């Protein structure tokens, strides 16, 4: 048979991570702006934290720019901001914020075919360095194809200003690569899904680094932000190699997405993922207790009630999570778990009482 395999990978060209790297914005823009102006997508809060500083830095360097304030990453906001930025004639889009602003910027860059610079204000999840964007269409929020940022500017000083809850959630998101990788290997064995050992090795490395350094992840220490952000970037690289979120997103993410829909406004992404990771490791027959200890060390609870999620909702999330992305095969299988099976898995793992 003729050899006809091929892959497509997109990588970030320049990454700046560390104290004060926000000052690199004008340089990075100058190197990558071929024509037009600079559009900065940010939110009300993130404008104060980083958006304004970015605009001022560009101003000082005589680079024309405009701020586009957005809140949630939904279809309506995306369409509005796409039209405005197209009209403005932007040659580069900067996403400055947490999850939703970066997602909107990633998808805008994809739709308008212009480069994206990602400037995260929180290390709360691994989307800041991935080629995927979560956009809410109707009531569903699913990860879609977008662009890999041409540059990532992750200023640890700026990110150390957000509450510790976001940092530990970001760490949990990366640590949970462990269950995602078990699911990927399972899908490879059962479904023949393509598996990339190099992507898996990097995703695993990112998780292990944080597991080993869990005792160093603590509040109000900029170096903790540095530790977590480096592994968020490694996790993003694994997704770039796989050209998919597979290495970092399995059953634990399906459960997290189900919780987001069934119990909105309770746990944040990394916390939901941690709950999913524990039960996923249990279903895979792995050492979920060791993982519970790791999460405890960084201050992440794996009790649903600590987030205000009631037992029934947690059970429902576990039972039905597989429906969210039927093409993504995981240990959760392809049919709903029975109520009793889900309840007992969650009770054994102390997620519910």
Task: Closer to Zn ion by CB, 101 or 125: give it.
Answer: 125
C-alpha torsion sign, points 119, 124, 130, 132: negative
Please state the closest distance from residue 239 (CB atom) to Zn ion, in A.
Answer: 10
Task: Closer to Zn ion by CB, 260 or 343: give it.
Answer: 260
C-alpha torsion sign, points 32, 40, 170, 131: negative
Please state the closest distance from residue 273 (CB atom) to Zn ion, in A.
Answer: 5
Please state the closest distance from residue 165 (CB atom) to Zn ion, in A.
Answer: 15
**Rounded to an integer, what distance in angstroms lies between the CA atom of residue 95 and that of residue 106?**
7
Is residue 211 within 8 A of residue 246, CB to CB? The reply is no
**Rounded to an integer, what distance in angstroms lies between the CA atom of residue 179 and that of residue 331?**
9
Sequence length of the chain is 353
Please state the closest distance from residue 304 (CB atom) to Zn ion, in A.
Answer: 18
Those residues whose C-beta lies under 8 Å from the C-beta of residue 118, and which sit 6 or more positions away, are: 95, 102, 105, 106, 128, 129, 149, 151, 152, 153
Task: Closer to Zn ion by CB, 125 or 328: give it.
Answer: 125
Strands of the sheet containing 116-120, edge to edge, are 14-18, 151-155, 116-120, 90-97, 37-42, 65-69
Give the residues across from 134 on adjacent strands: 143
Task: Closer to Zn ion by CB, 74 or 271: give it.
Answer: 271
Please state the closest distance from residue 4 (CB atom) to Zn ion, in A.
Answer: 33
Strands 140-145 and 132-137: antiparallel
Task: Closer to Zn ion by CB, 153 or 268: give it.
Answer: 268
C-alpha torsion sign, points 318, 324, 330, 336: positive
Please state the closest distance from residue 348 (CB atom) to Zn ion, in A.
Answer: 25
* Helical H segments across the chain, by residue range: 25-32, 44-46, 52-60, 75-88, 99-112, 156-159, 164-175, 177-191, 197-212, 222-242, 251-262, 269-283, 288-298, 311-320, 339-348
Is residue 308 within 8 A of residue 272, CB to CB? The reply is no
Task: Closer to Zn ion by CB, 38 or 277: give it.
Answer: 277
Task: Closer to Zn ion by CB, 55 or 300: give it.
Answer: 300
Task: Closer to Zn ion by CB, 53 or 126: give it.
Answer: 126
Q: Phi and psi (nearest 5°) for 42?
A: -150, 175
Please state the closest distance from residue 353 (CB atom) to Zn ion, in A.
Answer: 26
- Which parts of this chain interact with Zn ion (CB under 5 A)? 125, 173
Please state the closest distance from residue 172 (CB atom) to Zn ion, in A.
Answer: 9
The residue whose Cβ lies closest to Zn ion is 173
């Amino acid at each position: 048979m003729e050899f006809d395999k091929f892959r497509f990978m997109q990588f970030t060209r320049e990454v700046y991570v560390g104290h004060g790297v926000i000052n690199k914005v004008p340089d990075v823009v100058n190197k990558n702006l071929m024509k037009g102006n600079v559009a900065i997508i940010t939110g009300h809060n993130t404008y104060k934290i980083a958006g304004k500083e970015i605009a001022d830095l560009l101003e000082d360097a005589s680079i024309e720019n405009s701020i586009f304030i957005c809140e949630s990453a939904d279809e309506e906001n995306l369409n509005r901001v796409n039209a405005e930025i197209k009209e403005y004639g932007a040659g580069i889009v900067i996403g400055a914020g947490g999850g939703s602003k970066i997602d909107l910027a990633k998808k805008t860059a994809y739709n308008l075919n212009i480069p994206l610079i990602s400037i995260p204000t929180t290390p709360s999840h691994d989307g800041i360095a991935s080629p995927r964007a979560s956009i809410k269409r109707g009531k569903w929020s699913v990860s879609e194809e977008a662009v890999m940022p041409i540059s990532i500017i992750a200023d640890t000083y700026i990110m150390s200003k957000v509450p510790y809850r976001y940092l530990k959630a970001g760490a949990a998101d990366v640590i949970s690569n462990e269950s995602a990788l078990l699911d990927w290997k399972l899908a490879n064995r059962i479904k023949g899904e393509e598996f990339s050992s190099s992507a898996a090795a990097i995703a695993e490395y990112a998780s292990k680094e944080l597991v080993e350094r869990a005792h160093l992840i603590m509040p109000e220490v900029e170096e903790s932000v540095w530790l977590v952000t480096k592994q968020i970037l490694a996790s993003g690289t694994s997704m770039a190699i796989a050209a998919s979120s597979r290495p970092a997103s399995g059953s634990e993410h399906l459960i997290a997405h189900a919780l987001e829909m069934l119990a909105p406004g309770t746990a944040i992404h990394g916390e939901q993922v941690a709950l999913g990771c524990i039960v996923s490791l249990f279903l895979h027959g792995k050492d979920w207790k060791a993982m519970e200890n790791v999460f405890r060390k960084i201050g992440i609870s794996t009790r649903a009630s600590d987030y205000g999620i009631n037992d029934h909702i947690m059970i429902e999330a576990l039972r039905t999570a597989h429906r969210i992305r039927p093409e993504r095969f995981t240990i959760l299988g392809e049919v709903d778990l029975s109520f009793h099976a889900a309840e007992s898995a969650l009770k054994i793992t102390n997620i519910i009482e």
